[in-house]
Amino acid sequence: MSGHSKWAGIKHKKAKVDAQRGRTFTKIIREITVAARVGGGDPDGNPRLRLAIDKAKAVNMPQDNIQRAIQKGTGELPGTSYEEYIYEGYGPGGVAVLLEIVTDNKNRTAPEIRKAFAKYGGNLGESGCVAWMFEKKGLIQVEAAAADEDRLLGIVLEAGAEDVRRSDDIFEVITAPKDLERVKESLTKEKIQIAEGEVTMLPQNTVKLEGKQAQQMLQLMETLEEHDDVQNAYANFDIPEEIMAAVTS
């Protein structure tokens, strides 16, 4: 899971920069709209919407923007009709790539995603080709400096977490998706600051990459992450820390 962990950390840092350019706002607004359309506009009864609102607040999105996105999802305000898709493919070295897409025009999105894969040594695959390699989980990240490991372990396991792992200077708390909110609430109650908390797709195994393939894989992930229609990009790569670090410089 190390590849996922490092890339998740990079994305967290980039989100703050992207927010200034509006890209993160755009993606979160789409997620709020779709979540409200699928599960209703009340975040108390719609966990997906609640998570999306949490993401919006984390990047300081104005409350008016959040409310308008909810109302567009519930049909109270007119808005663009978005559809959700899962795209699957392979990156350099056979890395599995899983994409969550939200688009108003699949005929535009699919060729653009296919082109991105081809440009960086990968290819878009058939439905089901890699999805089996990933498992939907809740993932909470807590900076190691913010909590004692034994105390953290006791709190989250009592709240229903499945596992706690250490990745560099981050504790990763793994939960079943349905238990994510309860574990987050237990940490908040104990005044332990959460760096990130989301439902994600965790790879069950990883593919090690170095050299040119590692660079191509990171370029592919950057390109996919920056595409407006890609809500989330998951991959099972494991890349040396020095190469990963170069991406953030």
With bands split at pLDDT 50, 70 and 90, how would you rate the model's confidence at 169? confident
Farthest CA pair distance, the chain: 52
For the segment 140-163, the average pLDDT, to the nearest whole number, is 91
CB atoms within 10 A of CB 24: 21
pLDDT in tens, 190-247: 999 998 888 999 999 999 998 899 989 999 998 998 899 999 999 999 987 777 777 5
Tell me, yes or no, whether 9 and 62 share the same domain: yes
Tell me, yes or no, whether 34 and 57 share the same domain: yes
Tell me, yes or no, whether 47 and 141 share the same domain: no
Tell me, yes or no, whether 210 and 107 share the same domain: yes
With bands split at pLDDT 50, 70 and 90, how would you rate the model's confidence at 64? very high
Q: pTM for this structure?
A: 0.85
Tell me, yes or no, whether 213 and 114 share the same domain: yes
Tell me, yes or no, whether 65 and 148 share the same domain: no
Q: Say if residue 115 is exposed, middle or buried (CB neighbours under 10 Å; 0-12, 13-18, 19+).
A: exposed
**For residue 16, what is the domain's CATH number?**
1.10.10.200
Q: Say if residue 63 is exposed, middle or buried (CB neighbours under 10 Å; 0-12, 13-18, 19+).
A: exposed
Q: How far apart are CA 130 and CA 183, in angstroms?
A: 29
Tell me, yes or no, whether 11 and 67 share the same domain: yes
**For residue 121, what is the domain's CATH number?**
3.30.70.980
With bands split at pLDDT 50, 70 and 90, how would you rate the model's confidence at 2? very low
Last residue of a domain, one of 56, 74, 92: 74
For the segment 35-58, the average pLDDT, to the nearest whole number, is 93
Tell me, yes or no, whether 23 and 117 share the same domain: no
Query: Is the Cβ–Cβ distance between 208 and 70 less than 8 Å?
Result: no
**Domain total in the chain:** 3
For the segment 23-33, the average pLDDT, to the nearest whole number, is 91
Is 50 exceeded by the pLDDT of residue 1? no
Of 13 and 163, more confident: 163
With bands split at pLDDT 50, 70 and 90, how would you rate the model's confidence at 69? very high
Tell me, yes or no, whether 127 and 150 share the same domain: no
Sheet holding 196-203, edge to edge: 163-167, 170-175, 134-143, 196-203
Tell me, yes or no, whether 51 and 90 share the same domain: no
- Residue 195's pLDDT is 86
Last residue of a domain, one of 203, 218, 236: 203
Q: SS3 sequence, the chain?
A: CHHHHHHHHHHHHHHHHHHHHCHHHHHHHHHHHHHHHHHCCCHHHCHHHHHHHHHHHHCCCCHHHHHHHHHHHHCCCCCCCCEEEEEEEECHHHCEEEEEEEECCHHHHHHHHHHHHHHCCCEECCCCCCHHHEEEEEEEEEEHHHCCHHHHHHHHHHCCCCEEEEECCEEEEEECHHHHHHHHHHHHHCCCCCCEEEEEEEECCCEECCHHHHHHHHHHHHHHHHCCCEEEEEECEECCHHHHHHHHC
Q: Which domain holds residue 109?
A: 83-132+205-248
Tell me, yes or no, whether 43 and 125 share the same domain: no
Tell me, yes or no, whether 123 and 215 share the same domain: yes
Amino acid, res. 113: I
Sheet holding 96-103, edge to edge: 123-124, 83-90, 96-103, 230-235
